């Protein structure tokens, strides 16, 4: 599987628009090369460089396998129209929460991952966390792709 974005390139800075210092909108994400047998997709965005351990910025599951991308600014309405579920991020809300590392903490690496799963749906509660999503999808992963962006605040 491969992943790319029209919003930023792999291992390059994430534009402010997609962070807490901008519009805090989710970036465009696209993928290709799904494994045979893919029945659904999930997206997880996290920051393994956060001071308190990995910080979850976004989790969405039950995306249809024919989907090839999500547009910039993916919303709760977009998720609902696709029959998908956005779970609770570590900011305490559903949907995307952009990079916002502590000032002066250096550059953080943000992992944007898409997972191809062998089940059509993950049965998660509406208030499930990204960590619960990770646990639920783990035994069903057929493939994954990752795009890494970097961001820091002075």
Per residue in 29-85, pLDDT (tens digit) is: 999 999 999 999 999 999 999 999 999 999 999 999 999 999 999 999 999 999 999
Q: Which residues pair with 94 in a beta bridge?
A: 88
Integer Cα distance of 146 and 113 in angstroms: 4
Could you give the number of structural domains in the chain? Answer: 1
Per residue in 116-144, pLDDT (tens digit) is: 999 999 999 989 999 999 999 999 999 99
Find tokens 């962006």 and name the residue: 149
Neighbours of 134 (CB within 10 A): 18
Using the CB atoms, write b or e for 54-68: b if 16+ within 10 Å.
ebbbbbbbbbeeeee
79: helix, coil or strand? helix
CATH code for the domain of 35:
3.90.280.10
Integer Cα distance of 86 and 133 in angstroms: 10
Integer Cα distance of 110 and 107 in angstroms: 10
Half-sphere exposure of 74 (CA within 13 A, CB side): 26
Integer Cα distance of 3 and 143 in angstroms: 12
- Give the pLDDT of residue 154: 83
Regarding pTM above 0.95, the answer is yes
Integer Cα distance of 41 and 49 in angstroms: 25
- Give the pLDDT of residue 1: 97
Q: Print the domain residue range for 60.
A: 2-151
- Give the pLDDT of residue 81: 97
Mean pLDDT to the nearest integer, 3-10: 98
- Give the pLDDT of residue 126: 85
């Amino acid at each position: 599987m491969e992943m790319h974005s029209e919003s930023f390139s792999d291992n390059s800075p994430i534009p402010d628009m997609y962070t807490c210092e901008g519009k805090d909108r989710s970036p465009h994400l696209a993928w290709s090369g799904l494994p045979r047998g893919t029945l659904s997709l999930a997206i997880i965005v996290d920051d393994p460089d956060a001071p308190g351990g990995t910080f979850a910025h976004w989790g969405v599951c039950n995306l249809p396998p024919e989907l090839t991308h999500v547009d910039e600014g993916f919303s709760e309405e977009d998720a609902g129209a696709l029959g998908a579920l956005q779970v609770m991020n570590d900011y305490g809300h559903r949907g995307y929460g952009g990079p916002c590392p502590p000032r002066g903490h250096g550059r953080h690496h943000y992992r944007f991952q898409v997972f191809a799963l062998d089940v059509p749906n993950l049965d998660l509660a509406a208030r499930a966390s990204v960590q619960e999503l990770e646990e639920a999808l783990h035994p069903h992963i057929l493939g994954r792709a990752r795009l890494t962006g970097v961001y820091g605040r002075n």
